[in-house]
Amino acid sequence: MGVLLLFVDGLGLGAGDPGTNPVARARLGRLRLLRDRPAPDPAAVLIPTDACLGVPGLPQSATGQTSLLAGVNAPAAAGRHINGYCTKSLAALLDGRSLFSRVKAAGGDATFANAYTPAFLAKLPRFLSVSTVATSRAGLRFRTLDDLARGEALFHDFTNRLLPERGYFLPPITPREAGERLARLARAHAFTMYEHFLTDRAGHAKDMARAVEILEDLEAFLDAVLSGMDLSADLVVLASDHGNLEDLSTNRHTRNPVPTLLWGTGAARAAAGIETIADIAPAILRHLAVL
């Protein structure tokens, strides 16, 4: 019995305008639930989820991801939405409270599925993402390009196509192969998180063609993930930190609700307590009987 948290950066629920929303243009199956009048899907639960957390201004990644991973209202604690990288005060909120820490402390096997490059691991950059800090503070191992080559990790783009940008070369894999790989990893752990942020990048770039391509790749990836899991025993949660991609009329984040999508065992029960992105970690911990 495993829980997979598929974190997709910058994906909100927007109006169904194909002029501004790539979700209205992309060919989608599982992700058609992101449209404004979705066809019902008895296998999935969608909770439109507040990412603003009562704090004025546009929601941002560092506070959003801390809220998601630690189940706290990070922008309220910090007094503002904080963009980009983890700060000292956000790291303090993650300490001992992140999903990684909580699952590990309860004796569960938690892992971050993303692969890090040798250059990154040799000298950790001064500015780190929330997920990197959460992984490190929980004492979890960073997955490497050796893991990636063995099929036991995923690059952030999940196909390896962007790996050469960092100066590394591995054969590309299809979104479906990547999804099968993540499902295998998730089935071997109590809690697995995977982070994908090309969605946020495409939103900032206001690039409609790229956004549609990213959504269609994500659709194939997600479909393979769900086909590879045992949904009578496992729970898959797709969550985001703030809106962005769903409104390409702006290159900034949005205050739109974000989708929380749940598939598998206990999905409806886990969804029942979710109103904001800070409710997702507690829902996962309750599902795992850690809370």
Minimum CB distance to Zn ion smaller for 23 or for 224 = 23
Instruction: Confirm if 266 and 235 have CB atoms less than 8 A apart.
Output: yes
Minimum CB distance to Zn ion smaller for 200 or for 234 = 200
Minimum CB distance to Zn ion smaller for 147 or for 246 = 246
Question: Considering only 49-57, 127-135, 198-206, 276-284, which stretch makes contact with Zn ion by CB under 5 A?
Answer: 198-206
In the complex, the smallest distance separating the C-beta of residue 242 from Zn ion, rounded to whole angstroms, is: 7
In the complex, the smallest distance separating the C-beta of residue 197 from Zn ion, rounded to whole angstroms, is: 8
Minimum CB distance to Zn ion smaller for 29 or for 125 = 125
Is residue 200 involved in binding Zn ion (CB under 5 A)?
yes
Write the burial class of residue 177 (CB in 10 Å: 0-12 exposed, 13-18 middle, 19+ buried).
Answer: middle
> 50-54 contacts: CB < 8 A, separation 24 or more?
50/257, 50/275, 50/276, 50/277, 51/12, 51/240, 51/241, 51/242, 51/243, 51/255, 51/257, 51/258, 51/276, 51/277, 52/255, 53/276, 53/277, 53/278
What lies within 8 Å, CB to CB, of 138 at 6+ separation is 98, 100, 101, 104, 110
Is residue 247 involved in binding Zn ion (CB under 5 A)?
no
Minimum CB distance to Zn ion smaller for 73 or for 240 = 240
Phi, psi for 272 (deg, rounded to 5):
-60, -30
In the complex, the smallest distance separating the C-beta of residue 180 from Zn ion, rounded to whole angstroms, is: 29
Question: Considering only 152-160, 175-183, 196-204, 255-263, which stretch makes contact with Zn ion by CB under 5 A?
Answer: 196-204
Is residue 246 involved in binding Zn ion (CB under 5 A)?
no
CA distance 147 to 172: 15
DSSP-H helix ranges across 71-174? 74-78, 88-94, 99-105, 118-122, 130-137, 145-149
Residue 128: CA atoms inside 13 Å, Cβ hemisphere, count?
Answer: 19
In the complex, the smallest distance separating the C-beta of residue 169 from Zn ion, rounded to whole angstroms, is: 28
In the complex, the smallest distance separating the C-beta of residue 98 from Zn ion, rounded to whole angstroms, is: 21
User: How many residues sit close enough to Zn ion to count as binding (CB under 5 A)?
Assistant: 1
In the complex, the smallest distance separating the C-beta of residue 59 from Zn ion, rounded to whole angstroms, is: 10
Minimum CB distance to Zn ion smaller for 74 or for 229 = 74
In the complex, the smallest distance separating the C-beta of residue 239 from Zn ion, rounded to whole angstroms, is: 15
Question: Considering only 37-45, 65-73, 112-120, 200-208, which stretch makes contact with Zn ion by CB under 5 A?
Answer: 200-208
Instruction: Confirm if 194 and 2 have CB atoms less than 8 A apart.
Output: no
- What's the angle, vertex CA 83, arms to CA 80 and CA 88, rounded to 5? 75
Element (H, E) at 106: none
In the complex, the smallest distance separating the C-beta of residue 51 from Zn ion, rounded to whole angstroms, is: 12
Residue nearest to Zn ion (CB): 200
Question: Considering only 21-29, 40-48, 120-128, 194-202, which stretch makes contact with Zn ion by CB under 5 A?
Answer: 194-202
Chain residues that interact with Zn ion, rule: CB under 5 A: 200
